[in-house]
Chain A
Amino acid sequence: MSMGGKPGKMGRRKVDPFLADNTLVIDYKRPDILCRFISERGKIIPSRISGVTAKNQRKLAVAIKRARQIALVPYSRLESF
């Protein structure tokens, strides 16, 4: 828990993008949103980097896996591209 303090040293607590913007929904049918939370390689981005809350990260992971299943989002992608 950081309370502000000196920026840079304490670091700022990241805001969950799903709470900050309620047009963002977690749904496997929205590859446009899911792609924000997938690395170039196709991996799910950890919540410590994206700032997604644990609860939402769990839902997000399910959504991404479903989207992969139906070929809306890749399982893996080569880094060179």
Chain B
Amino acid sequence: MARDPNYRKYETVFILRTDLSDEDKGKALAKVDSILKDFDGHAIRREDWGPRKLAYKIEKQTKGLYFYQLFLGKGGLVLELERNFRLMDSVLKFMTVTIDDNIVLADFDFAGEAKELTWMAEQRGAKAAAAAEAEERQEAEEASAEADAKEEAEPAKAEEAPEAAEAPEAEAEVAVEEKEEAEGGEEVAAEEEEVA
């Protein structure tokens, strides 16, 4: 049987332990990269889905760090990757799925595929954005508090300070609303599960 000269598109989801040091985490991810490089693979993109609660305990862990790797490769690469996952203590679980067959490297749109995001990554991004906005809001509040303090201390500047304080507050309110919406969505999902 002649070897297929073309590539296949695979995606691998792997779960790392949450109690890893940053160094161990970096090591595990670097290992994945090096295997992809050494075994004729072409990474398309990696997503960090962040810490998630596991649906069931794995190695007595209730949480795991989810990663998603999309790549082109041939059969031997997947074998090697999974062999290494089995050896690595930091990996709780992994799964590789073939998405596409018979990919000609020259025709493949790497840049386009690298930009797309799975729903999981989008959710994580949205959460991070909400957190960033909440932080901004806190800073704005602190800034406005400072402005108030200044106002009391220096009555001469009183005309400028209130304006500066009001603007960030308006932004902060928007951020709160968005965050509430995101939380509401999760609740609905949980309720649906119960009904089902």
Interface residues of A (CB under 8 A from B): 27-30, 32, 35-40, 45, 66, 68-75
**18 residue pairs A–B, Cβ–Cβ below 8 Å:** A29-B68, A29-B118, A32-B119, A32-B189, A35-B189, A35-B193, A36-B196, A37-B196, A38-B193, A40-B194, A68-B55, A69-B93, A69-B95, A70-B13, A70-B93, A70-B94, A74-B56, A75-B56
Interface residues of B (CB under 8 A from A): 13, 15, 52, 54-56, 58, 64, 68, 93-95, 97, 118-120, 189, 192-194, 196
Does more than half of chain B's interface fall in helix, strand or loop, or is it mixed?
Answer: strand
Give chain B nearest CB distance to A46 CB in angstroms: 12
Contact B196 A71 (CB under 8 A): no
Q: Which of A35, A68, A71, A73 has the most B CB atoms < 10 Å from its CB?
A: A71
Does more than half of chain A's interface fall in helix, strand or loop, or is it mixed?
Answer: loop
Query: Once bound together, how far apart are the Cα atoms of A35 and B97, in whole Å?
Result: 21
Chain B residues with CB under 8 Å of A72's CB are 52, 55
Residue of A nearest to B188 (CB): A32
Contact A35 B192 (CB under 8 A): yes
Query: Once bound together, how far apart are the Cα atoms of A39 and B193, in whole Å?
Result: 8
User: 5 nearest interchain CB pairs?
Assistant: A74-B55, A71-B54, A35-B193, A71-B55, A70-B95
Number of A-B contacts (CB under 8 A): 49
Contact B120 A29 (CB under 8 A): yes
Chain A residues with CB under 8 Å of B58's CB are 71
Q: Which of A29, A38, A68, A69 contacts B119 (CB 8 A)?
A: A29
Query: Once bound together, how far apart are the Cα atoms of A30 and B97, in whole Å?
Result: 15
Q: Which of A28, A29, A38, A71 contacts B15 (CB 8 A)?
A: A71
Give chain A nearest CB distance to B66 CB in angstroms: 8
Give chain B nearest CB distance to A67 CB in angstroms: 8
Q: A36-B192, A38-B196, A71-B93 are in contact. Are A30 and B119 (CB under 8 A)?
A: yes
Give chain B nearest CB distance to A35 CB in angstroms: 4
Chain B residues with CB under 8 Å of A35's CB are 189, 192-193, 196
